[in-house]
Structure 1
Amino acid sequence: MTRSVYITKSAAFLPGEPIGNDRMEAVLGRVGDQPSRARRLVLRSNKIEQRYYAIDPETGAKTHTNAQLTAEAIRALDIDLDSLDLLSCGTSMADQVLPNHASMVQGELGLPALEVMASSGVCLAGVSALKYGYASVLSGLAETAVATGSECASSILTADNFSAEIESRVQALETNPEIAFEKDFLRWMLSDGAGALALSATPGDGVSLKIEWIDMLSYSGEMETCMYCGGSKQEDGSLKGWTAMTQAERAAESAFSIKQDVKLLNANVIHYTVEKPLAEIAEKRALKPDDVDWFLPHYSSDFFRKRVMEGLEKIGFVIPYEKWFTNLYSRGNTGSASIFIMLDELLRSGDLEPGQTVLCWVPESGRFSAGYMLLTVTQETS
């Protein structure tokens, strides 16, 4: 008998109160005691209206670690955690180099002995964790699993993580807005949050999502690094990692800030995350645009919305905007947690109908990768 895997419950946790655009810099702090020249330009492009930070806006104190954010999302699933077989957690930046993130989440929850797995990377870290959980249940190695995606980006976005020289590098924003992407851009793009999905070989009560497949493709063998942290990109395009850098280089480069090669991003992101992988996956899976009822795209900024559609048009896989669902503008860009937080909101919306399909797309600009998954809505009635 062929097994199936279902997402039976979902939950999300967003810390604190929503922070509007006019309060961001007060919470994150000013670099060099000067207001950012990039902030308004970046916000005008991404169109994010509010986001959440694990920071007390009055005191500036940290309210949650990444592991604590993840634990809160898992608690909100309201399931019997003591009977879990597997905890699979993905994040871009754990609270520490080791132990791994999943071990720390298990510790926060006080769970009894079980298998834990942590995936790293950028936005695909959450999808990787979900695929591990899916594959484990599908194979019969586990009966129940929880998969998570989480980010606590604010821990490295506050002003004390940036040297004052960063502001001088964005002085030319009025004439060349793309300069902002490399240094100041991501401060106004990323935010905090966590999502959790409960997986089982049997559907749950009410609406569940059957996982049809999860496919991921990486193009790191042909592309250089684009988004990175803990290193310094060299003139020849290579990445000099933290362990190879001198203490002076680490300080000068603010090595543990997140950086993006915007020229490389804009020239390649749609080709390597939409056109190339989706064309291959659609052929492999015999997937057609008319097969898709809901499209959940994890684009990081409204700037890419039109460009994603152009990429879909180029490969003849047009999904009309009325089928798209995103909560980027109200929940912010939470990286590897974003697709979990989107799925949770869609599941709770009441808009899903049995038999409908949900196509999820998660791009990763680290060294250009893409993840796609197809889900089918099921509903158990008593």
Structure 2
Amino acid sequence: MPGSKILASAHYVPNDIVTNDDLAQIIDTNDEWIQSHTGIKTRHISLQGENTSDLATQAAKLALAQAHMKPEDIDLIIVTTFTPDGLAPSTAALVQRNLAAKNAWAYDIVTACAGFVFGLSTADKFIRSGTYKNALVIAAEVNSKMMDFSDRTSTVFFGDGAGAVVMTADEHGDGIVAGEEMHTIGNADVVHSGRIAPLTQLSPDNYPKIDAFSQIGRDVFNEVTELIPQHIYSFLENKSLKPSDVDYFIPHQANLRLIEYIANALNEPIDKFSTNVIRNGNTSSAGIAIGFDELRQSVNLKGKRVLLTGFGAGFTYGSILFEF
């Protein structure tokens, strides 16, 4: 059976840029505090009515253009998001409609900030089955619509954006996926968003009400710092590799301080790590997708190893290793 390879990548962010000083006008915070704690300077926020499917569609169109493919060439569309347009139809279905990708079936994956890694893994399996040839994997988030803008512990981190790749069958090779490892630890109390409470009584005014994004920041930091460096070490060791054997790391863009911590724990220089979080903020599952596109556009990846590591709400984490 064929492996999979990546033909093209692209990303899209809303036009509106919100600075730390802008946030300080509505939240009790300031630029110095935000930068010192997160490393974030700006973030793109969807203020022109663009929803998650709109960002995803724009990123997909750019990726298809890069691949010189038509929407009807796509067999499968996977959108990874935990800020969907709605519960039904899926955001992926809306993207399929927007693109007029009439030959593709589509669905969403919800693993929060680890979503793009899980999406790539899933598309790779469908392609390896031999049943499907071309897949669009899109990570898209409009985090801003889920924020409580009185909660400075969460709101200052997040931005909106989308990234996409076109994956296709590698008919003459094993593909670029050299290994993967995924984990889930069911801990819904550390991070949650969009909870819908069940009914307690029948009433004419009952309708769904969802909650805003919420996190226990210190617990999230502790979970990441305890689990992720060891996960990367163990994952690479099982492949008879060391961190120094990896040319580039693309971790979840949670905040710059966490990325710096992971780099230090792996004893690897920070310039081997993607860091678009400084200007984009935490774009959840889209951060790795955007980072991959930026890396792919800036360097020749032939002969390189690239490790993508996602971690987020759930608690869900995992890595996928590309060898180009």
Structure 1 length-normalised TM: 0.74
Within a 5 Å distance, the mapping from 1:1-382 to structure 2 comes to 2-24=1-23, 30=26, 35-37=27-29, 41-55=33-47, 62-77=48-63, 78=65, 79-157=69-147, 159=149, 166=150, 183-202=151-170, 210-220=176-186, 223=187, 225-231=189-195, 242-243=197-198, 255-275=210-230, 277-312=231-266, 318-349=267-298, 351-364=299-312, 366-377=313-324
| Equivalent residue letter for 2:111 | G
How far off its partner does 1:107 sit? 1.8
- Aligned in 2, Cα 1:283/1:18: closer, same or farther, shift over 3 Å? same
Query: Structure 2 stretches of 5 or more lacking a match?
Result: 203-208
User: Cα deviations across residues 90-136 of structure 1 (Å, max 9, x unaligned)?
Assistant: 10110111111211111222221422121013111222222211111
How far off its partner does 1:284 sit? 2.8
- Aligned in 2, Cα 1:47/1:136: closer, same or farther, shift over 3 Å? same
Bigger radius of gyration, 1 or 2?
A: 1
| Equivalent residue letter for 1:196 | A
User: Cα deviations across residues 257-285 of structure 1 (Å, max 9, x unaligned)?
Assistant: 1111123223322122332x224322332
User: Cα deviations across residues 124-175 of structure 1 (Å, max 9, x unaligned)?
Assistant: 122222221111112212111000100011222374xxxxxx5xxxxxxxxx
| Equivalent residue letter for 2:14 | P
- 1:315 is matched with which residue? none
| Equivalent residue letter for 2:258 | F
Q: Could you tell me how far apart the structure 1 residues matched to 2:97 and 2:264 are?
A: 45
| Equivalent residue letter for 2:308 | C
CA contact (8 A) 1:69 1:150 kept: yes
| Equivalent residue letter for 1:289 | P
How far off its partner does 1:17 sit? 3.9
Identity of aligned residues (%): 22
Q: Could you tell me how far apart the structure 1 residues matched to 2:238 and 2:200 are?
A: 43
- Aligned in 2, Cα 1:17/1:107: closer, same or farther, shift over 3 Å? same
Structure 2 length-normalised TM: 0.87
User: Cα deviations across residues 47-106 of structure 1 (Å, max 9, x unaligned)?
Assistant: 212221110xxxxxx430110110010011112111111111110110111111211111
- 2:205 is matched with which residue? none
CA contact (8 A) 1:273 1:368 kept: no
| Equivalent residue letter for 1:271 | E
Moved more, 17-26 or 76-85: 17-26
Q: Secondary structure at the match of 1:242?
A: coil
User: Cα deviations across residues 307-336 of structure 1 (Å, max 9, x unaligned)?
Assistant: 223543xxxxx3333322222112222110
Q: Could you tell me how far apart the structure 1 residues matched to 2:297 and 2:212 are?
A: 35
Q: Could you tell me how far apart the structure 2 residues matched to 1:66 and 1:24 are?
A: 22
Q: Could you tell me how far apart the structure 2 residues matched to 1:327 and 1:230 are?
A: 26
Q: Could you tell me how far apart the structure 2 residues matched to 1:188 and 1:246 are?
A: 37
- 1:171 is matched with which residue? none
Q: How many residues align?
A: 311
Over aligned residue pairs, what C-alpha RMSD do you find?
2.5
